[in-house]
Amino acid sequence: MADAPRPTASPGFMYAASRVFELSIGEMLWSRRTVFMGLVVGFPVLAAIVLRLLSSLGVAPITINNHGVDGPVIFGLMIWIFFVRISVPVLGVFYGTSLIADEVEDKTITYLFSRPIPRGAVLVGKYLAYLACTVFVILPAVVIVWLLMIPMGGSLGASFIDLTKDLAVLALGLAVYGAVFALAGAALKRPLLSGLVFVLGWEQIAMILPGYLRQLTVAHYLQGLVPHAMPSNTPLSLIQGVFREVPTLAESLISLGLIMAVSLWLAARTVTRKEYVLEQ
Is residue 11 part of the contact set for other proteins (CB under 8 A)?
A: no
Of residues 156 and 278, the one with the C-beta less far from other proteins: 156
Answer for which of 146, 177, 181, 198 binds other proteins (CB under 8 A) is 146
DSSP bridge partners of 67: 64
Q: Phi and psi dihedrals of 58, rounded to 5?
A: 85, 10
Q: Which stretch binds other proteins (CB under 8 A): 94-102, 140-148, 183-191, 204-212?
A: 140-148
Mapped to the 3 state alphabet, what secondary structure does 137-182 carry? HHHHHHHHHHHHHCCCCCCCCCCHHHHHHHHHHHHHHHHHHHHHHH
CB of 20 to other proteins, least distance (A): 12
Q: Quick one: which H or E segment has residue 68?
A: strand 67-68
Is residue 66 part of the contact set for other proteins (CB under 8 A)?
A: yes
Of residues 140 and 201, the one with the C-beta less far from other proteins: 140
Is residue 159 part of the contact set for other proteins (CB under 8 A)?
A: yes
What's the half-sphere exposure (Cβ side, CA atoms, 13 Å) at 16? 17
Distance, CA of 39 to chain centre: 15
> Crossing angle of helices 98-105/160-187, nearest 10°?
40
Q: Is the dihedral of CA 122, 125, 129, 130 positive or negative?
A: positive
CB of 40 to other proteins, least distance (A): 16
CB of 59 to other proteins, least distance (A): 14
CB of 267 to other proteins, least distance (A): 24
Q: Which stretch binds other proteins (CB under 8 A): 18-26, 35-43, 87-95, 175-183?
A: 18-26
Binders of other proteins among residues 226 to 245 (CB under 8 A) are 227-230, 232, 241
Q: Quick one: which H or E segment has residue 254?
A: helix 249-273
CB of 140 to other proteins, least distance (A): 4
DSSP bridge partners of 64: 67
Q: Which stretch binds other proteins (CB under 8 A): 20-28, 111-119, 120-128, 260-268?
A: 20-28
Residues that contact other proteins, how many (by CB under 8 A): 47
Answer for which of 225, 260, 267, 271 binds other proteins (CB under 8 A) is 225
- CA separation (Å) from 132 to 88, 136, 137, 177, 254? 13, 6, 8, 14, 22
Q: Which stretch binds other proteins (CB under 8 A): 19-27, 110-118, 207-215, 258-266?
A: 19-27
Q: Which of 178, 210, 225 is nearest to 37 (CA)?
A: 178
Binders of other proteins among residues 191 to 220 (CB under 8 A) are none
